[in-house]
Copies of this chain bind each other. A is one copy, B any other.
Amino acid sequence: MKIAQIAPLAEAVPPKLYGGTERVIWWLTEALVDLGHDVTLYASGDSVTSARLVPCSEAGLRLAGINDHAAATLAMLDRVLREADRYDILHFHVDLLQYPMFRHLAGKCLTTLHGRQDLPDFWPIHDAFPEKNLVSISDNQRAPIPQANFIGTVYHGMPDALIPFAPAGGDYLAFIGRISPEKRPDRAIEIARRAGMKLRIAAKIDNADKAYFEERIAPLLEGADVEFIGEIGDAEKPEFLGNAAALLFPIDWPEPFGLVMIEAMAAGTPVIAFANGSVPEVIEPGVTGAIVSSVEEAVDAVPFVRAIPRETVRRAFEARFTAHRMARDYVALYESLAGLGTLPPPAFAGDAFAASRGLDMAGAGTYG
C-alpha cells in the first residue's frame, strides 16, 4: 500500500529531545516499512526514517526558534496535496489545518488526534468539516466530541526491544513525566510515603511549571525517601523503569493515551494509575497494574500490583502495545476506508468537492 505519513514540523521524526507525537510517528513509520508498505514521510528535514523522506522544513521548528508553525505547515500540506495522487492513503498527524484543503479527498485521508479534546478551542472544526475521518488514541479521548467522525481507536505502540523486559524489578516506586499540576507528583509522594516505600522521580520542569515546582513540590522533597533525579533520556529509561517495583501514574486530567504506562509495562513493571482519561483502557487490573480513585486505594494497591508476575505484565505489553500491532491496526483502517480499491475518478472527486462547497458546477461540461 502506498502510504503518506504527514508529521508535525515542530520536532524532527524522531525528536531530538521531547515530542511524544513524533516518536509515535517514527515507530509507526518504521513498522509500516517493516510490514512491506511503500511509505513516504512528510516531516522536518532533520528527520531520520526508513521510509522516503520529503523534507518540509530545514529542521524541527521548535528547536530552530520558530514559534508559529502555521505557515510552514500549510506549505507542507500544499506539497502533500500536489502529490496526493501518488498515495492510496494520506495519514495526517497535524491537528486541523488539513481539513479544508483535503475535503475533496476525504475518502482516502485520516487524521490521528494526538491531543486532549476537552478544550473548546477545537470544537468548531468538527461541525465545519464533518466528513473527515478521525482516529482516536483512546476511546475516552472521544468523549467531548461525540459528533466527530471517528473511524477507530488505535492505541499507541512502541518497538518491543526499546525497553527490554527486566525480570527482577526493584524496590522503589517510580514517577516519570513532567512536573505539573495535572500529573500530580504531590500525590505520588504521598502514596509512596504512606506505603513506606522509596520514590524516585524522573521529570522535567517546563518554564511554565517552575513556580508550581518551587511552591508545591520542592518542599515535599525533603527526606531520604524521595529522590528527584531530574529529566532522563531514552537511554536511561530501561534502567529507571526496569528497577522499579511499580510506576505511579496519579494523573488529574483526561490523558489521551499516556506513553509512560506502556513503557513501564515493556519493562515488566506494573502501573498504579488514577482512573482518568485513557487509563481504564490501557491498564488491565491484576494483569498490568491497578486502577484507583484515591490516594488510599493507591496505597492499598502497592502490595496488590507487586504480586503480579512481571512476565505477565510484559506479555500484556507484547500482545497489546507493540509498534507492529499499532501498524497492523492502522493498515486495517486504511483498508476499511470506503474509497480504497474503488477510488472515484478525478471528476467525481472534484464534483463532490464542488457540491460540498455549494459551487455552481453546471457549466463544468465545458471542461473537456
**Chain A residues at the B interface, C-beta cutoff of 8 Å:** 57, 66-72, 74-75, 77-79, 81-83, 85, 95-97, 99-101, 119-125, 127-129, 345-347, 350-351, 354, 357-368
Contact = CB atoms under 8 A, between A and B. Distances in A.
A35 B96 CA distance: 39
Nearest to A66: B121
A354 B364 contact: no
A175 to B, nearest CB: 28
Nearest to A64: B120
Contacts of A68: 119, 121-122
B128 A78 contact: yes
B121 A96 contact: no
Contact of A363 (B69, B100, B345, B359): B345
B82 A70 contact: no
A85 B359 CA distance: 8
B347 A366 contact: yes
Given A57-B124, A82-B358, 15 more contacts: A68-B122, A70-B122, A71-B128, A74-B96, A74-B99, A74-B124, A74-B128, A75-B128, A79-B128, A101-B101, A346-B361, A346-B363, A347-B363, A350-B367, A365-B368
A207 to B, nearest CB: 13
Contacts of A83: 358
Contact of A367 (B75, B122, B364): B364
Copies of this protein, total: 2
Contacts of A120: 66
A347 B362 CA distance: 8
A346 to B, nearest CB: 5
B100 A74 contact: yes
A67 B358 CA distance: 31
A354 B68 CA distance: 29
Given A77-B100, A350-B364, A364-B350, A357 B82 contact: yes
Contact of A361 (B66, B97, B367): B367
B367 A78 contact: no
Given A101-B101, A128-B78, A361 B365 contact: no
Contacts of A96: 70-71, 74
The 3 closest A-B pairs by CB, nearest first: A365-B368, A75-B128, A364-B367
A101 B96 CA distance: 13
Contacts of A358: 82-83
23 contacts: A67-B121, A68-B122, A70-B70, A70-B95, A71-B121, A74-B99, A74-B100, A74-B124, A75-B124, A75-B127, A77-B100, A78-B100, A78-B128, A79-B128, A85-B360, A100-B101, A346-B361, A347-B363, A347-B364, A350-B350, A350-B361, A365-B367, A367-B367
Contacts of A71: 96, 121-125, 128
B125 A75 contact: yes
A95 B68 CA distance: 12
A81 B85 CA distance: 24
Given A75-B128, A366-B345, A357 B121 contact: no
Contacts of A364: 346-347, 350, 364, 367-368
A85 B127 CA distance: 22
A96 B77 CA distance: 13
A85 B363 CA distance: 14
B359 A125 contact: no
A79 B128 CA distance: 8
